Amino acid sequence: MLDIIQLPVLENNYIYIIHEPESGDTAVIDPAVASPVLEILQQKKWSLTYLLNTHHHWDHVGANTELKQTTGCRVAASIVDQSRIPAVDKLLQDGEQLLLGGLSIEIIATPGHTLGHIVYYISAAQALFCGDTLFAMGCGRLFEGSAEQLWHSLQKLKALPKNTRVYCAHEYTQNNGQFALSVEPDNVYLQHRMERINQLRRNHLTTIPSSIEEELASNPFLREDSPNLQQHINMQGESALAIFTELRRLKDIF
């Protein structure tokens, strides 16, 4: 139904190439660099229909111009970022649907990490490409938006079906998990997840994708209501937003 290829590039980035076999339509998400993408396209004999960006940071848009020139693909990104996404020619808005063959890709605006951040959700494939908004056991840093904006954005992702696979843009899982354990040490699910993550990383394997279900059970930024977490950061009974804001601050200095 949807082929998904994960390409590790730079120090810890993931580029995703997604291919809808019936139509042959193919998209690349957040290409930092062009050559590994071009290699896969050649190997698979796929031609690029779309280049999709989640946000304007250089390690997500670095290959926009080269890939558009080489493949003739269309470059789609948030309308909010129209002046700072290289080679963009299709502007996307919150709630809009983009078609990849017969597959509908839903655009969800998730400001916080940057003001124009969007994520791509394909419900028929149970897949979410969430850039730097939601990470395995973590979330993006607040470069442009407020904690409140990012918190609201994460509420939208929290509400997606539990079996949704979460394809984030960085391999930050092990460090995120160490922070998660520091604020919620008694979470047994989290302890076991970290054992699996440590094993994967010892073997230099990817920890991505995770799932919404796993994140709900072990990502501290989705778990403000955990008594163990509240107690460990001394915020019993505070609002979810206040707890989230404190967690984001603590992670920045972790």
Residues that bind Zn ion (CB under 5 A): 57, 132
Instruction: Find the shortest distance in angstroms from Cβ 191 to Zn ion.
Output: 29
Considering the complex, what minimum distance in angstroms separates the CB of residue 85 from Zn ion?
13
| Residue with the shortest CB distance to Zn ion | 57
Give, in degrees to the nearest 5, the angle at Cα 50 between 45 and 51.
Answer: 105
Residue type, 91: L
Which uninterrupted H or E stretch holds 28?
A: strand 25-29
- C-beta of 4: minimal distance to Zn ion in Å? 21
- Residue 211 to residue 232: CA distance in whole angstroms: 26
Instruction: Using the minimum distance from each CB to Zn ion, give the nearer residue, 140 or 209.
Output: 140
Tokens of 146: 């407020």
Cβ(43)–Cβ(36) below 8 Å: no
- Is the Cβ of residue 2 or residue 33 nearer to Zn ion in the bound state? 33
Residues identified as active-site = 55, 57, 59-60, 113, 132, 170
**Contact by Cβ (8 Å): 105, 97:** yes
Q: Which residue do the tokens 């848009």 mark? A: 61
CA–CA distance, 5 with 112 (Å, rounded to integer): 27
| Tokens standing for residue 222 | 């989705």
Nearest residue (CB) to Zn ion, 57 versus 193: 57
What is the nearest approach in angstroms of Zn ion to the Cβ of residue 136?
Answer: 16
Nearer Cβ to Zn ion, position 112 or 177? Answer: 112
Residue 54: CB minimum distance to Zn ion, A: 8
Cβ-contact 125, 107 below 8 angstroms: no
**Three-state SS sequence of 194-208:** HHHHHHHHHCCCCCC
Rounded Cα distance between 124 and 13, Å, is 25
Q: Which helix (H) or strand (E) holds 36?
A: helix 35-44
SS3 assignment, position 107:
strand
CB of 57 to Zn ion, least distance (A): 4
